[in-house]
Amino acid sequence: MDTTDAVAPTLDIIVRPARDVDAESLGRVHAKCWHETYDHLISTAALERVSPLRLAELWTHWTKQGDEYHQHVALVDGEIVGFVGSGPARDEDAPRERELYYLYLLSAFHGTGIGQQLFDAACGDRQGYLWVADDNPRAHAFYKRNGLKRDGAQQVQPFLGEELLEVRLVR
């Protein structure tokens, strides 16, 4: 068969608001995403302490927050593969009223457009800001395509008992 005629399989993608019944799946996906995202920034020992069960417990709480929080999940063939959350700014010197708290997608789904769908669900074309690991070139490229730029602010955040240098991006 001539592979030039082959059609790439289409993914059955759904992006919808996160629900409390998603907590267990979100805990597993969250833990895996942290391993995939931070393995070059945080020690293996620290990442091994990540508990999908503990993250699921946190998600049970997070999915019950008020309407000012926008939390969505991306499902492929009915399985959660990523998630996003935004809400009111948390910083005293916040450059915008809204903050993107997190956007994680399993690495197997990078480059599929799912990350963009998640971003759009949480942020749309509104102004906002986020903190991102300084050493995360893939994320920086993604956010740059979405109109976010460094504003010069940076912080060292405790993360899993270690420290992570983050920079602020603003749109």
Q: What is the pTM of this model?
A: 0.90
pLDDT at 7: 47
Q: Is the pLDDT of residue 133 over 80?
A: yes
Segment 67-79 shows an average pLDDT of 93
pLDDT at 9: 63
Determine the Cα–Cα distance for residues 108 and 86; give it in Å rounded to an integer: 23
Local confidence band at 4 (pLDDT 50, 70, 90 cut-offs)? very low
Token digits for 44? Answer: 């293996």
Determine the Cα–Cα distance for residues 116 and 58; give it in Å rounded to an integer: 25
For domain 12-170, say whether CATH 3.40.630.30 is its number.
Answer: yes
Segment 57-67 shows an average pLDDT of 82
Token digits for 52? Answer: 């999908």
Would you list the domain boundaries of the chain? 12-170
44 vs 106 pLDDT, higher one: 106
